[in-house]
Amino acid sequence: MKILLPLALLALSAPSRADLLIYDVTGDLTSLNGSGALTFSLTSFGSPVNNVNATISSLLFNGGVYGFGSGDPASDVQRSGDTIQFGGSQTFRFYDIPVTSFGSGISFQISLFGPGVLGNATGDGWTFGVFAQDVEPGNFEFLEINIPPSGSPTVNSTQAFNATLIPEPATWATLAAGIGALLVYARRRR
């Protein structure tokens, strides 16, 4: 019985999946030459019950010449400066940026949110993708963040892209509270 309280507190302190995922993304685009396109997409390949929206923020190009681009006319996808907002409820949303010349890299933060991020075994899952391709056939780099109907998200990419999951503040607070409770419990036992 004495072991149940610490175990319960530890379980409460474990990071939990919420309806918000935030990733820091960096991309090395030195393998791409000349002109091409950069496409961001948010896709479900079925008929999802729950929606996912996304916000790209702090979009930073390291060199190169990039156009302002255009969003999906069938949905609410808009760019304002270094932010791209994927709203609406379509199962396929995209934002294309024409590239006159690729720079050495790209970085941004992607926030995926909404009931479809919960991973509650409804719908068909979602994928956020970044696809960079130049005019030479076969020259491309990509990143996919896959949100399955249940379970943890996975990242699939070429070596050029890296995505790091950032724990949300509520997860850090819950973890700190759980560890604090364990420390208090340990002191009381002494």
Instruction: Give pLDDT, residue 8.
Output: 46
pLDDT in tens, 13-41: 444 445 899 999 999 999 998 899 999 99
pLDDT in tens, 170-185: 544 555 566 666 666 6
**Whole-number Å distance between alpha carbons of 88 and 74:** 9
98-135 pLDDT per residue, tens: 999 999 999 999 999 988 887 655 667 899 999 999 98
Q: How many residues does the chain have?
A: 190
Residues 6+ apart with CB under 8 A from 74: 88, 90
* Whole-angstrom distance, CA of residue 127 vs CA of residue 153: 9
* pLDDT value of residue 18: 58
Answer with the residue of higher pLDDT: 3 or 38: 38
> 70 and 95 in contact (C-beta within 8 Å)?
yes
Work out the angle between the directed axes of helices 4-13 and 169-189 (0-180°, nearest 10).
160
Query: Minimal CA–CA distance to 123: which of 147, 156, 153, 92?
Result: 147
